[in-house]
């Protein structure tokens, strides 16, 4: 689905969500209140300015104190890879955006990610992965690392990696693999209205971070949850 189609499905009565230079912001009527929307469209890389613009919208929402849900719609590139962005502290700006979303969550704003295109690396962590629950639409294409890069570093032939990707979801790009990690909670149905599907996600928001549990149940991260629990138990016990 395109962003326009998503917004039309979410807000059949119209909305005030705009896209400027690939950055999405605005809101629309939702369940008797408002649904705030921020995001990245058109496979746009996320740089220092974009991260601060989006964080500004999120902090405005927290200041408004209305506890309106925040949808983070993502079709992005990775972080913008440039000398200038790093010189200006891209790590601080991306972390700031993630912290803003995590703060909004603490202040009672349900945060829902919606991955409808590409996303990767730092841009993915700062946006979709900083929400309480992350949904995706069929065709979404998250890629932490692209296979040619993996092939270059591991010195394994691309064909070998493609073959290995059939047996493990742990390294290769793709929505199914991020589902198996527990990073993506659910895939929505593009053929029915999105509003009720988002509403249901909000109604069933997990109390705590359950991505490692999902990763274990789905087989993508067989040991992460057990490792975290053993460490937490030993630390608290000792």
Give least dist CB 82 to other proteins, A. Answer: 6
In the block, which residue shows the tokens 């009527």?
29
> What secondary structure letter does DSSP report for 18?
E
Residue 54 vs 202, nearer CB to other proteins: 54
Q: Are 199 and 186 in contact, with CB atoms under 8 Å apart?
A: no
Q: How far is the CB of 135 from other proteins (least distance, A)?
A: 15
Return the structure tokens found at 197. 């599907």
Cβ neighbour number for residue 22 with a 10 Å cutoff: 17
Nearer to other proteins, 1 or 212 (CB): 212
Q: For residues 110 and 136, is the Cβ–Cβ distance under 8 A?
A: no
Cβ closest to other proteins, residue 193 vs residue 230: 230
Among the listed residues 45, 11, 49, the one whose alpha carbon sits nearest the alpha carbon of residue 27: 11
We find the least distance from the C-beta atom of residue 48 to other proteins, in angstroms, to be 6
Q: What one-character DSSP code corresponds to residue 140?
A: -
Phi, psi of 233 (to 5 degrees): -65, -45
Q: How far is the CB of 13 from other proteins (least distance, A)?
A: 32
Round to whole Å and give the CA distance between 19 and 6: 13
Q: Which is nearer to other proteins, 76 or 177 (CB)?
A: 177
Given the complex with other proteins, which of 191 and 236 has the nearer CB atom? 236
* Helix, strand, coil percentages, rounded to 5, for the chain: 45, 20, 30
Q: Which is nearer to other proteins, 4 or 107 (CB)?
A: 107
The helix or strand, by DSSP H or E, that contains position 182, with its residue range, turns out to be none
> What is the smallest separation between the CB atom of 203 and other proteins, expressed in angstroms?
21
Nearest distance from C-beta of residue 8 to other proteins, angstroms: 30
């Amino acid at each position: 689905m395109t962003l326009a189609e998503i917004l039309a499905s979410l807000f059949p009565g119209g909305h005030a969500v705009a896209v400027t230079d690939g950055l999405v912001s605005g809101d629309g009527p939702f369940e008797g209140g408002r649904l705030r929307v921020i995001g990245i469209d058109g496979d746009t890389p996320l740089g220092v300015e974009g991260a601060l613009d989006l964080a500004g919208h999120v902090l405005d929402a927290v200041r408004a104190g209305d506890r309106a849900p925040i949808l983070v719609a993502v079709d992005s590139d990775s972080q913008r890879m440039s000398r200038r962005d790093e010189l200006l502290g891209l790590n601080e700006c991306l972390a700031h955006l993630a912290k803003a979303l995590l703060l909004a969550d603490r202040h009672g704003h349900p945060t829902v990610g919606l991955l409808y295109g590409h996303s990767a690396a730092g841009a993915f962590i700062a946006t979709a992965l900083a929400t309480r629950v992350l949904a995706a639409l069929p065709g979404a294409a998250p890629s932490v690392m692209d296979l040619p890069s993996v092939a270059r570093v591991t010195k394994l032939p691309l064909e070998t990696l493609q073959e290995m990707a059939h047996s493990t979801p742990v390294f290769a790009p793709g929505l199914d693999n991020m589902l198996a990690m527990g990073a993506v909670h659910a895939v929505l149905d593009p053929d029915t209205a999105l509003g009720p599907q988002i509403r249901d996600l909000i109604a069933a928001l997990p109390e705590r971070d359950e991505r490692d549990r999902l990763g274990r149940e789905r087989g993508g991260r067989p040991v992460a949850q057990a490792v975290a629990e053993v460490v937490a138990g030993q630390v608290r016990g000792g």
